[in-house]
Structure 1
């Protein structure tokens, strides 16, 4: 495994680990936000999913420019 591939794998593992940790606590977060507003809880879920795909989309764009 060359350094470029290894760095990409490490970055992907960190990103997936971070999102996995947030996903683990997502029900608690949504219940807490949902006490204030159910619409806000829905927006939190939508933003989480959008951020997950957005991070990899941005990473792909930055790597394509190299």
Structure 2
């Protein structure tokens, strides 16, 4: 069964917005980590790991939401 055209379009827009936001965060991540690294290297490592992990968590949560809706 295929999804209606408007539904697949909204899914594509949602994925594009998520990827754009993640790209923006990952673009500025080195600057953020370097600034935090001057304060605490452990804090910088933790924030960097959390930012990368958050990218995967967003898609995992979206997949769970879609499964819950029966798609």
TM-score bin, normalised by smaller chain = over 0.9
1:14 to 3, 14, 17: 17
1:61 to 35, 50, 64: 64
Provide the TM-score with structure 2 as the length reference.
0.88
Instruction: Report the aligned-residue RMSD.
Output: 1.0
Matches within 5 A, 1:35-46: 35-46=38-49
Where in structure 1 are there 5+ consecutive unaligned residues? none
Would you say how many aligned residue pairs link Structure 1 and Structure 2?
66
Higher relative contact order (CA 8 A, sep 6+): 2
1:25 to 13, 25, 28: 28
Provide the TM-score with structure 1 as the length reference.
0.94
Largest Rg, 1 or 2: 2
Cα distance in 1, alignment partners of residues 12 and 36 from structure 2 = 34
> What secondary structure does 1:54 align onto?
helix
